[in-house]
């Protein structure tokens, strides 16, 4: 069964990016000239997703507007003869069907996913967190879809290998590698932010999921967990006891843009990836290093 829908929770307040997020949605903050959320949606679209479901909160209207048509801007660009810019803007406004649902209280990722139940229906669906950008020729979500398809449409959690000393920053999966696919585990469960000496593996969950619709009934059953919130991790642990769930170590470079250092890392990397920007950017960096007497 083709996976057509993706849920992207964007209801958070973005307090790590204050004061910018006092007035604008964090997801609209650009890396160079492209908003963070654009990269997430492009990954979903290039994976075959046909409908994006944003789980939003007050003040997030700019995200929905970004993926809508702007006929006034299009007319201006056309009149000005800016063909390249016009094509780019039209493509953004037509790349995918976008809808949204409000999360009126921020009660955790599990609660955010549950808000999308009516729009998802009885379909297997993807979840992409807007804080994590993964760059790879084969989109991360598509990689997980292919694993799910090989295993009869089973849920699949995207994971990455992290240093053992960093396990306390992530949800860590435990399970058994498949005999014919060492990059995929049959999951036994997840441990939320374990201490390094207590972590069952070093495979962390950075925010990519393929989930089956039975997750919704589980999310309705679970009590509040860590942080007094409804945790998706708790629901996935229950799901592992009811059916096969897999964790797949995806290929790609991940950028955690949920905090300033990760955002800076992504900005520098994306500038260096761009052949048009790279020479000037490298020269700027050299000059700034000399100016501020930085010892490398």
- The pTM of the full predicted model, rounded to 2 decimals, is 0.93
Distance CA 232, CA 218 (A): 10
Per-residue pLDDT of the chain (296 residues; tens, 9 = 90+): 799 999 999 998 889 999 999 988 999 999 999 999 999 999 999 999 999 999 998 888 899 999 999 999 999 999 999 999 999 999 999 999 999 999 988 889 999 999 999 999 999 999 999 889 999 999 999 999 999 999 999 999 999 999 999 999 888 999 999 998 999 999 999 988 899 999 999 999 999 999 999 999 999 999 877 777 889 999 999 999 999 999 999 999 999 999 999 999 999 999 999 999 999 999 999 999 999 988 88
Which class is domain 5-254? alpha beta
As a whole number of Å, the end-to-end CA separation of the chain is: 52
Angle (deg, nearest 10), helices 83-94 and 71-79: 160
Q: Tell me the CA distances in angstroms from 223 to 108, 157, 216, 228, one per residue in order.
A: 12, 22, 14, 9
Distance CA 42, CA 139 (A): 9
Contact 98, 219 (CB under 8 A): no
Question: Which sign, positive or negative, has the C-alpha torsion 7, 8, 10, 16?
Answer: positive
Strand-pair partners of 256: 132
Domain boundaries, the chain: 5-254, 259-296
* Strand pairing category for 97-102 and 51-56: parallel
């Amino acid at each position: 069964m083709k996976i057509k829908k993706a849920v992207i929770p964007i209801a958070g307040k973005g307090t790590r990016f204050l004061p910018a997020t006092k007035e604008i949605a964090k997801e609209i903050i650009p890396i160079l000239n492209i908003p963070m959320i654009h990269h997430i949606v492009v990954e979903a679209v290039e994976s075959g997703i046909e409908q994006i479901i944003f789980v939003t909160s007050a003040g997030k209207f700019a995200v929905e507007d970004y993926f809508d048509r702007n006929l006034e801007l299009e007319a201006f660009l056309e009149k000005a003869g800016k063909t390249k810019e016009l094509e780019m803007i039209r493509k953004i406004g037509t790349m995918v069907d976008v809808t949204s649902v409000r999360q009126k209280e921020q009660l955790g990722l599990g609660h955010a996913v549950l808000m999308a139940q009516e729009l998802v229906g009885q379909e297997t669906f993807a979840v992409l967190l807007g804080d994590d950008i993964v760059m790879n020729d084969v989109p991360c979500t598509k990689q997980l879809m292919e694993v799910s398809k090989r295993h009869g449409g089973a849920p699949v959690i995207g994971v990455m290998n992290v240093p053992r000393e960093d396990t306390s920053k992530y949800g860590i999966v435990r399970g058994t590698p498949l005999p014919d696919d060492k990059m995929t585990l049959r999951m036994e469960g997840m441990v939320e932010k374990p201490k390094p000496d207590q972590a069952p593996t070093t495979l962390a969950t950075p925010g990519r999921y393929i989930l089956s619709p039975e997750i919704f009934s589980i999310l309705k059953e679970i009590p509040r967990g860590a942080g007094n919130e409804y945790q998706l991790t708790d629901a996935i642990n229950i799901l592992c006891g009811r059916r096969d769930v897999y964790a797949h170590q995806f290929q790609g470079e991940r950028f955690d843009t949920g905090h300033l250092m990760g955002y800076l890392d992504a900005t520098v990397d994306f500038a260096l990836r761009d052949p048009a920007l790279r020479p000037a950017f490298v020269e700027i960096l050299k000059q700034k290093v000399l100016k501020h007497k930085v010892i490398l």
